[in-house]
Structure 1
Amino acid sequence: MVWSQAVRKYSNEFLSIGVDAAALGMSNAVVASTGDVNSGYWNPAGLLKLEDKQVSIMHASYFANIAQYDYAAFGMPIDDRSAFGVSLIRFGVDDILNTTQLIDSQGNIDYNRISLFSTADYALTVSYARALPIEGFNYGVNAKVVRRIIGDFANSWGFGFDFGLQFESDNEWKVGLMLRDITTTYNTWTINEEEYQKIKDAVPGENQDLPETSEITLPKAQLGISKKFEFHNEMSLLAAGNLNMQFAQTNDIISTKAVSIDPALGFEWGYTDLVFLRAGVGNFQQITQIDDSKKLSFQPNIGVGFKYKGIQVDYALTDLGDQSAALYSNIFSLKVDLDIFSR
C-alpha cells in the first residue's frame, strides 16, 4: 500500500559520498580532470578519455564498520567520439536487531522474538558520453535508478538524471561542470502496513505518524578546473579545484538563500605514471558552537596509488585529525584496464 504524505526534500545523500580512492584522496576535486571508468560518477563527459574497456571496484567502511559502502563500475569507448559506462553503488547496514516484538502483549520478555534486518541503498547508473562538434568540448549524461530498502518495513524507487560537460584548452587547462539531479530525483516509498502496525506503538507516545513517502533530491552543481604539470625528471603534478554548489542555504563557508558553495582543492604528485601521492582539503563548514559562535571546520584527505601494466591500486585516508564532524575512513579501490588480458 502506498501512503500519500507530504513531500520531503533532500534525500539520497549516500550518492554524495564519492567513489574511487584516488579521487577521495584529492578531496573530490576531480570534476575537470576525471578521465577513466569512474567518470560515470564524477563527470560522465570524462568517459571519452577511455582508450579501452576498464573496470573499477571500491570498498569502504563507515561509522566504526557499522555501515558498508561498495561500488563497481565498467566503462568502454563506443567509437572515437562516444563512450558508455555503467556503475552500481550499495550503502548498507546489515544485521540490525529488531526488538520491537521483544515484549509481548502480556509484558513477557521473549528473546526468541528478536529478529535481524538490513537497510540498504542502491544506485544503478548508466552513462553516455559524446564529443561535441566544437573542438575541446565533451558532454555526458547519466540516467540513474535508486532503490532503497528498510527490512520488511518499507522500500522505495527513485529515478533521476545528471549532465556533465568538460573542456580542454590547447595549453591543457581543463574545465568541468557537473549538474546532478537536473530534473530533481524523485523517490516514492511503499510502506508495509502490517509491519507498521507492529512498530507504531513500540515506544509509547512515539512513532505514531506514518513516515513521509515522497522525497525529492534537489539539483546540485560542481564547477571544476585543473591542470597537469609535467617535469623533465619524469615527475608530474596535477592541481585541481572544485566549487561544490547547493541551491539552498546550508552551513557551507559561502551560504546564501539562493546558493551555498563549498570549495575543494586537490593535488596529485606522480612519478613515471607508476607511483602517486595525493592530498586535498574540502568540506569547509561553519559550525555553530554552544555559545552561538561560529567555528570553521574542514576535512583534509591524503592518499597513495600504484599503477603497473594497466592495474591500479589506490588508498585514501579521509578526515585527518578529526577536523570535521565525521569519523575518518580507510578507503581502497582497484582499477583494471581489461586490454591487459588480450596482450
Structure 2
Amino acid sequence: MTRGPSQGKERGVNSPPRKIIHVDMDAFYASVEQRDDPALRGKPVAVGGGHRGVVAAASYEARAFGVRSAMPAVTAKRRCPGLVFVKPRFDVYKAVSRQIRAIFEDYTSLVEPLSLDEAYLDVTEDVRGLGSARAIAEEIRARIRAETGLTASAGVSYCKFIAKLASDQNKPDGLCVIPPSRGEAFVATLPVKRFHGVGPVTTAKMERLGLHTGADLAAWSRAELEAHFGSSGHWYWRIARGIDEREVKPDRLHKSVSAERTFDIDLSDDAALAEQLERVAGYAWERIARAEVTGRTVALKVKFSDFTLITRSRSFAAPVPDEAAFAAAGQALLGALLPVAKGIRLLGLGLQNIQSTEKGEPFQLGLAI
C-alpha cells in the first residue's frame, strides 16, 4: 500500500501506513443456525422472537424482506410471512467465535474484537510472509470457510474507519481493499448513514443541513462542523478526509454492558414503564451473559419527552449474581422516580464496574432495542 496525502499529514511523512483488516461474519447467528440445521438453508430465518418478541439476528433471505435485528417479531412476521424463528444458542455462537479468533491469532497478536462476529486486525507486520494485507485477508476468509463452514466479509485499508466501511461494501462473502491513495475518494462516495458512529439522529441532522455524503462533509470546514456538532465535528472533519489514527487495541477495557429502548410514544404509566424496563433488563442480561463479565453497579438511564436525560445507579459489595437481581435493582431505581410528571421516551439499563471472567472475550456495548 502507498501512503495517501491525508494519511501522511496526520502521521508524519516518515510513518509507514498501517495495514488494517476488519473481518465481519455474514449474518453470523442465523448462518450458524442454517449450517447446523440443513432444513433452514435457503429459508428466511430469524434468531430470537421468544417472550420478548424481538429479532436478534436475521438471515440474508429474511433481510430481503426488510427483516432486521431489533425489529419486533410481529413486524418481522408481517413483512415476511414465511419467516422461521429459532431460539438463540449463545454457547454455540461463542464456541464458533473462539474458533475464528484462533484463526486471527495465527496472523497477528493485534486483534481487537468488537463483538462475537467482528474484529479489527493489524497486519502491518506480515508474520507469515504472505506478501500483502489482501493475501492475508483472503487466506483468513478461506480458513474460516474451511474450518467453520461459514462465510466472512473483509475490508482491508490503512485505518480502522475505512476498513470497517470496506468490509460492508461487498457483503456477503466479499472482500474490498482501499489503499491510502483511494481513501478520501472512497469516503466521498458514501452516504453519511453508512459511517460508523453516525447514528440515525445525527444522520437526520446532517441531511437537514445538506450533508448527504462524505463529499458533502469534506466541503465543510472544521469550524463549521464543530459549530453544528460540537466536539464530534472534528471527528467528522477527519473521517471525511480518510483520516483515522486509532490503533488496533487487543485488550480493550469496557466500562459497561447495557441495553436501551426508545419508545414509539412517550410513557408515563407506572406499570407500562416497569414492563418495558423488564424487557430492557432481559436484553441487557443476555449481553452480559454472552460477554462472560460480572459487575457490581447497576445503572438506569432515563430520557424524558423533553429530551432531559438522567441516570441513577446502585453499587453492591459483590457482583450482581443473576438476571433477577439485575432486573430487581433496575426496578428499584425506576421506582424511586415514579410517578413521573412528564413522559419517558427512553429507558436503558446497564452493568458497570465490569470485570471480565475470561480475558479477551469479545462483546458489544449499548444495544438499542
Highest RCO, 1 vs 2 (Cα 8 Å, sep ≥ 6): 1
TM-score by length of 1: 0.23
Higher helix share: 2
